[in-house]
Amino acid sequence: MHRDKRSGGISRARFLAGAGAAGAAVAAGSFLTGPSASATTTGRRGGSGNGSGGGKGLTHRGICYTIGAGETPATAWNATRMREDLRAIRNDLHATSIEVTGDGVDRLNATASEAAELGLHIWLQPTLGDRPATEILDHLAETGRHLDRLRRQGARADLSVGCEFWLFVPGIVPGANAEERIRNLVAGNYDPRQMARRLSAFTARAAKVGRSVFGGKLSYAAAQDDEVDWSLFDIVGIDYYSYFPDRADYVRDLRRYLRWGKPLAITEFGTCTYAGAPEQGGMGWDTIDYTKQPPEIKGDLVRSERTQATYLTELLGVFEEMGLYVAMAFEFLTPDAPHSPVPRYDLDLASYAVVKPIKDLFDDPESDWHWEPKQAFHALARCYGRAGRH
């Protein structure tokens, strides 16, 4: 796992580690109390056409586009590359929506503006982490104001005030940084009631800031077992990494998020690029040994782009069938996880991205690179293209 020291941001590996750690804590009964069994099984069904489980397909079909300072200058956010990526997302992937997420006010605002120019629906989700709470809220306010200007100019846009605050925001779980907070979660070194109070308080503060700067619909991206006061928001947002052998189990599982009668956004869904990855859920990335230089894949994993493509399209079919509001495949690109023809150096195996970065010189951190679509990209493009023609 890597930290971007220049931006103070949290890498995707750290984020997913936290999600997995929280899931383990929930399973052990030491985290927040989840929804009741009766609420989970019965689930309130909303009306059709509003994204709250009434059928008739998704309202928006999209992909997560994560931006940040990068682990090296070669993989840092670049305006020219961003514009090319967004055109591929619209024209080749046939997505109608994009989740612009990450940190850096200028980067987020520039990317949101480009998405608006292309006519994409924008789901803006700033995720500044490991910074003081006031800084995180100021970051939210600045990006939210810009998004509201785009909305008032005619862009289709929703604002998510953040993502899984217990991991990103200091002071909710003990620990000076995300790694320490994850370790404390796993070890049970925290007070669940105090954590719940702090998480609830910060979520309410973020919702208040969001309302003060943005006149459109508001949401938040929660982990699957987080207890959230959804009365603060217009849209329920869930990062969804479940795996079930039976398709019907996904429908039963997802109905628990419909009981508020509000549109449901799947703010992330996806899997890595090897056989057996879907069963690993949000921990599928945890197969790289960063103690070695260059980093290596642990074990004898078998690369399988088909596995990734099949999982994404199966989940997408469930979301379409249920008529949810938006589904965002995670993710378009992970530039710091390049593909290699040598299996033990193929970091793209542990990537959720639907395109693979290929460096001109694999051993050179400053090497130029390009991306190529994986089977998952083509599979999503077919699904999104067919949906757009109906």
- 4 has pLDDT over 70: no
Res 74: pLDDT:
84
Q: pLDDT by residue (tens digit) across 315-355?
A: 999 999 999 999 999 999 999 999 999 999 999 999 999 99
Domain count, the chain: 1
With beta carbons less than 8 A apart as the criterion, state whether 116 and 122 touch.
yes
Q: Return the closest-CA partner of residue 373 out of 382, 365, 364.
A: 382
Distance CA 226, CA 229 (A): 10
Confidence of residue 178 (pLDDT cuts 50, 70, 90): confident
Q: pLDDT by residue (tens digit) across 236-252?
A: 999 999 999 999 999 99
Answer whether residue 116 is part of any domain: no
Question: Could you give the C-alpha distances from 15 to 21, 131, 194, in angstroms and in order?
Answer: 10, 15, 22
Parent domain of 348: 52-98+191-388
Answer whether residue 220 is part of any domain: yes
Answer whether residue 122 is part of any domain: no
CATH assignment of the domain containing 320: 3.20.20
Answer whether residue 300 is part of any domain: yes
Q: pLDDT by residue (tens digit) across 102-135?
A: 999 999 999 999 999 999 999 999 999 999 999 9
The mean pLDDT of 193-209, rounded to a whole number, is 96
Which residues of the chain form beta strands (DSSP E)? 3-4, 9-10, 60-67, 97-102, 121-126, 157-163, 218-222, 236-239, 264-269, 288-289, 296-297, 326-329, 355-359, 369-373
Query: Model-level pTM greater than 0.85?
Result: yes
Answer whether residue 253 is part of any domain: yes
Confidence of residue 145 (pLDDT cuts 50, 70, 90): very high
Question: Could you give the C-alpha distances from 354 to 74, 137, 374, in angstroms and in order?
Answer: 20, 31, 6
Answer whether residue 67 is part of any domain: yes
Answer whether residue 37 is part of any domain: no
Answer whether residue 114 is part of any domain: no
**3-state SS assignment for residue 373:** strand
Q: Return the closest-CA partner of residue 284 out of 252, 344, 330, 342.
A: 330
